[in-house]
């Protein structure tokens, strides 16, 4: 039987390492509850470097809970454009409204109260509570699950909720009371920069290299144990970027379901050939002047994968009205209309745009 691992031996080496190796990040400079909350929601399934410009823009436009609570939805979704998972920011606004009503506009300094706010689970509540308020509670994300599984050589399946719960309890028992925020951030930092998820971990740079059982046994490739997720459903789409002079046709999605309430380019199920696209456009009452095939692309959601083919379509008039569709000035798409990142491959994203991730439709060279 394997000897129990004394987790307390990890604390000091980790905190000493973090003191010297912590990255300089905008949300760490001023870790207020609101800033920590915004950063943690943005960082879910998005790289740190990608989040930085979004975080700065979001905080400039919505600097506090009150501003988030009162923000018009289309502006809110536009600020989130490029990060995906739009329900997250919708949930943030609902939570902000609750905070305004019940907590005088300040996030509560209470772990359990935080978990009751819309969209805030155990991890996010733990991050806010420990980093912003100094409350000694764990914040267990994928990085933490990986580094603890490896250092202890634990074969438990981290996809099981019971395993996460057990790890939260184990870390709660050893949490340094006066350095809880630093400890949680150090665990995450170690997983993000040293004990990497893909490829070989940088063991020689690790403060736990003499303690790590997976390193000693050579089993780091096998850990953590992670059962396979259910295969994503494949959906084929044909996307139509329809332009008339300096306007582009957008369709507003339904208020429920995937990408609810967002604007998109008109699209249909299946991969249409050019002649089928022309027939479809004529059924819409459109007379295409020119048609050009765009590069095929795909976009991955959590449970669905879109395989997209696309066409740039030029028409000569925009007078007709279409159900749930509107022609808008291409410049307005940058500022007013939130278009999901799923469609970004159909156009070019401007690296110098003021809005990170904005889809800059006017830069399409469709008919060169």
Q: How far apart are CA 133 and CA 123, in angstroms?
A: 15
Provide the pLDDT confidence category of residue 220 given band limits of 50, 70 and 90. very high
Q: Going by C-beta distance under 8 Å and a sequence separation of 6 or more, which residues neighbour residue 41?
A: 88, 89, 92, 119, 124
Confidence band, pLDDT 50/70/90 cuts, at residue 323: low
State how far the Cα of 358 lies from the Cα of 340, in Å rounded to an integer.
9
**pLDDT attached to residue 349:** 36
Task: List the structure tokens of 341.
Answer: 């990142």
| pLDDT at residue 361 is higher than 80 | no
74 is catalytic: no
Quote the pLDDT of residue 119: 97
7-222 folds as Endonuclease III; domain 1 (1.10.340)
pLDDT band at 320 (very low <50, low <70, confident <90, very high): low
Here the contacts of 4-11 (C-beta below 8 Å, separation 24 or greater) are: 5/151, 5/152, 5/213, 7/148, 7/152, 7/170, 7/171, 7/173, 7/174, 8/174, 9/211, 10/151, 10/174, 10/208, 10/211, 11/174, 11/176, 11/183
Say which of 40, 153, 264, 334 is annotated catalytic: 40
pLDDT at 188: 97
Return the pLDDT at 347: 65
pLDDT of residue 337: 84
Closest Cα to residue 35, out of 25, 24, 23?
A: 25
Quick one: pLDDT at residue 322?
Answer: 67
* Predicted TM-score of the model (pTM): 0.82
Mean pLDDT is lowest, of 109-113, 200-204, 325-329, 351-355, for 351-355
pLDDT of amino acid 308: 95
Residue 366: predicted pLDDT? 46
**What SS3 class is residue 264?**
strand
Q: Of the candidates 84, 102, 100, 90, which has an alpha carbon nearest to the alpha carbon of residue 42?
A: 84
Rounded to whole angstroms, the Cα distance separating 36 from 17 reads 22
Please give the pLDDT value at position 277. Answer: 94
Distance CA 188, CA 22 (A): 10
Distances (CA, A) of 309 to 190, 233, 358: 40, 17, 21
Q: Does the CA dihedral 144-147-148-150 come out positive or negative?
A: positive
pLDDT by residue (tens digit) across 84-129? 889 999 999 999 999 999 999 999 999 999 999 999 999 999 999 9
Q: Is the predicted pLDDT of residue 319 greater than 70, yes or no?
A: no
Q: How far apart are CA 149 and CA 223, in angstroms?
A: 7
Q: Residue 345: its pLDDT value, please?
A: 66
User: In degrees to the nearest 10, what's the CA dihedral of 205, 207, 211, 212?
Assistant: -50
Give the C-alpha separation, 244 to 332, whole Å: 15
Residue 367, pLDDT score: 45
Cα–Cα distance, 334 to 363 (Å, whole number): 12
Is the pLDDT reported for residue 311 higher than 70? yes
Cβ–Cβ < 8 Å for 220, 150 = yes
* Residue intervals in the chain for CATH 3.90.79.10: 233-363
Burial class (CB in 10 A: 0-12, 13-18, 19+), 367: exposed
In the block, which residue shows the tokens 């459109």? 286
Q: What are the tens digits of pLDDT across the range 156-193?
A: 999 999 999 999 999 999 999 999 999 999 999 999 99
How far apart, in whole angstroms, are the C-alpha atoms of residue 295 and residue 241? 12
**Number of Cβ atoms within 10 Å of the Cβ of 177:** 9
Quick one: average pLDDT of 265-281?
94
Cα–Cα distances in Å, from 289 out to 39, 286, 335?
46, 10, 28
Q: Is 258 helix (H, G, I), strand (E, B) or coil?
A: coil
Per-residue pLDDT at 321: 63
Asked whether 65 and 105 are in contact (CB, 8 A), the reply is yes
Q: How far from each other are the two terminal CA atoms of the chain, in whole angstroms?
A: 70
**For range 280-293, the mean pLDDT:** 90
pLDDT of residue 61: 98
Q: CATH 1.10.340.30 in the chain, residues?
A: 7-222
- Which CATH topology does 233-363 take? Nucleoside Triphosphate Pyrophosphohydrolase (3.90.79)
Arithmetic mean of pLDDT over the chain: 90
> What pLDDT is stored for residue 45 in this prediction?
83
Q: Where do the H-state alpha helices sit in 175-230?
A: 180-193, 213-217
Mean pLDDT score, 206-233? 94
């Amino acid at each position: 039987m394997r000897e129990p691992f004394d987790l307390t031996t990890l604390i000091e080496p980790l905190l000493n390492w973090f003191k010297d190796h912590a990255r300089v990040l905008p949300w760490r400079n001023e870790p207020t509850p609101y800033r920590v909350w915004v950063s943690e929601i943005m960082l879910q399934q998005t790289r740190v470097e990608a989040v930085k410009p979004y975080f700065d823009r979001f905080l400039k436009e919505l600097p506090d809970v009150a501003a988030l609570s009162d923000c018009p939805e289309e502006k809110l979704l536009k600020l989130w454009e490029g990060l995906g998972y739009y329900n997250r920011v919708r949930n943030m606004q609902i939570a902000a409204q609750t905070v305004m009503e019940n907590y005088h506009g300040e996030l509560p300094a209470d772990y359990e109260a935080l978990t009751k706010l819309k969209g805030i689970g155990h991890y996010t509540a733990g991050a806010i509570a420990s980093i912003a308020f100094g409350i000694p509670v764990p914040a267990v994300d994928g990085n933490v699950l990986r580094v603890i599984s490896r250092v202890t050589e634990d074969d438990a399946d981290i996809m099981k909720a019971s395993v996460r719960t057990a790890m939260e309890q184990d870390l709660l028992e050893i949490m340094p009371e006066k350095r809880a925020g630093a400890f949680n951030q150090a665990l995450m930092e170690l997983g993000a920069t040293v004990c990497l998820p893909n490829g070989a971990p940088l063991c020689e740079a690790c403060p736990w290299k003499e303690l790590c059982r997976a390193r000693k046994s050579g089993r780091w490739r096998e850990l953590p144990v992670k059962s396979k997720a259910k295969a994503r459903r494949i959906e084929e789409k044909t996307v139509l970027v329809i332009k008339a002079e300096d306007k582009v046709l957008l369709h507003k999605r339904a208020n429920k379901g995937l990408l609810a309430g967002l604007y998109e380019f008109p699209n249909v199920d299946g991969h249409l050939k050019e002649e089928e696209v022309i027939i479809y456009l004529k059924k819409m009452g459109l007379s295409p002047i020119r048609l050009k095939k765009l590069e095929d692309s795909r976009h991955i959601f959590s449970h669905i994968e879109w395989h997209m083919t696309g066409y740039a379509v030029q028409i000569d008039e925009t007078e007709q009205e279409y159900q749930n569709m509107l022609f808008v000035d291409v410049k307005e798409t940058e500022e007013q209309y939130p278009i999901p990142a799923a469609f970004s491959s159909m156009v070019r994203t401007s690296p110098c745009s003021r809005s990170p991730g904005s889809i800059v439709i006017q830069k399409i060279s469709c008919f060169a």
